[in-house]
């Protein structure tokens, strides 16, 4: 890819990817919102009235950060992976590689659009959740910043997956077979501190536990781990993804296959 800053090219990619979400509004927006709302109705409103948590925290409010994280991880990864995979599938990736668009602009376009889609989805889910469950966000600015950080990080992961995948089925391996189970087992529906040993120690090996607890801290003001641990783990994974993408564009791996 050519050097130099080409914001017009980045904006063109960004606009095209963002509009794709509105062309497929059911799969991109309605489906994850409906799924999350059903979880909130079943677990939060119905079962939640029978659950008691330490500190008098409402169970419905407790699971909102976990369910939001579940949607963020899967949608950010899927949107970014599909966005870069389609140019490879159709062959238009070669036009992108020969265009005066650098790595930075490409990431702004594809990864930025996937992250913005996730932010829009998160806003809709939180608005819908307010109709079902009475909840508050203790640190709204921190919550927004953390959601943005997670969306950007896993959009970068999705970008890597899209470059790696050589078939549509591989695009779903990480979101469905890895991220979703890890999120369900990462304290989405229960506090990690309530687990008996050795399961509490086993749960702490799960990296998604720290993501869920980081977001939960911004909502409730309390979590199983200090927020700095969650923030540090997320930033470390962000830097790892950036390093992998830099290596991919430097070596051309999977770009011209």
Q: How many domains does the chain contain in total?
A: 1
Residue 90, in any domain of the structure:
yes
pLDDT above 70 coverage of the chain, percent? 94
pTM greater than the 0.75 cutoff: yes
Spatial CA neighbour of 83 closest among 72, 75, 71: 75
Task: Give residue 211's Cα distance to chain centre.
Answer: 10
Q: Tell me what the mean pLDDT of segment 232-257 comes to.
A: 86
Residue 241, in any domain of the structure:
yes
Q: Residue 2: what pLDDT?
A: 47
d(CA 80, CA 85): 8
Residue 115, in any domain of the structure:
yes
List Cβ neighbours of 245 (8 Å cut-off, separation of 6 or more).
Answer: 103, 107, 156, 159, 160
CB 230 within 8 A of CB 236: no
Domain membership of residue 51 as a residue range: 7-251
Residue 257, in any domain of the structure:
no
Residues in the chain: 257
Q: Residue 197: what pLDDT?
A: 86
CA distances from 231 to 23, 189, 208, 234, 237 (A): 34, 21, 12, 5, 10
Q: Residue 154: what pLDDT?
A: 96
Residue 2, in any domain of the structure:
no
Using the structure block, give the residue that is written with the tokens 């939640």.
Answer: 48
Residue 61, in any domain of the structure:
yes
Q: Tell me what the mean pLDDT of segment 102-131 comes to.
A: 91
Residue-wise pLDDT tens digits, 138-168:
999 999 999 999 999 999 999 999 999 988 8
């Amino acid at each position: 890819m050519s050097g130099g800053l080409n914001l017009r090219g980045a904006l063109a990619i960004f606009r095209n990817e963002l509009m794709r979400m509105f062309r497929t509004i059911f799969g991109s927006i309605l489906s994850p919102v409906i799924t999350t709302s059903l979880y909130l109705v079943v677990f939060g409103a119905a079962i939640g009235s029978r659950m008691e948590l330490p500190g008098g925290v409402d169970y419905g409010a407790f699971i909102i950060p976990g369910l939001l994280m579940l949607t963020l991880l899967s949608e950010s990864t899927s949107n970014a992976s599909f966005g870069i995979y389609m140019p490879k599938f159709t062959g238009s990736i070669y036009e992108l590689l020969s265009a005066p668009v650098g790595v930075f602009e490409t990431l702004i376009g594809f990864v930025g659009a996937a992250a913005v889609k996730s932010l829009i989805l998160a806003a809709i889910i939180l608005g819908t959740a307010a109709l079902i469950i009475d909840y508050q966000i203790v640190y709204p600015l921190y919550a927004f910043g953390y959601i943005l950080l997670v969306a950007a990080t896993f959009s970068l992961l999705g970008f890597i997956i899209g470059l790696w995948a050589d078939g549509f089925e591989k695009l779903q391996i990480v979101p469905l077979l890895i991220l979703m189970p890890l999120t369900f087992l990462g304290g989405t529906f229960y506090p990690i501190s309530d687990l008996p040993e050795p399961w509490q120690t086993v749960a702490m090996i799960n990296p998604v536990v720290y993501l869920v607890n980081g977001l939960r801290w911004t909502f409730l003001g309390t979590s199983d781990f200090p927020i700095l641990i969650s923030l540090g783990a997320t930033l470390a994974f962000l830097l790892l993804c950036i390093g992998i993408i830099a290596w991919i564009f430097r070596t051309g791996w999977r770009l011209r296959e």
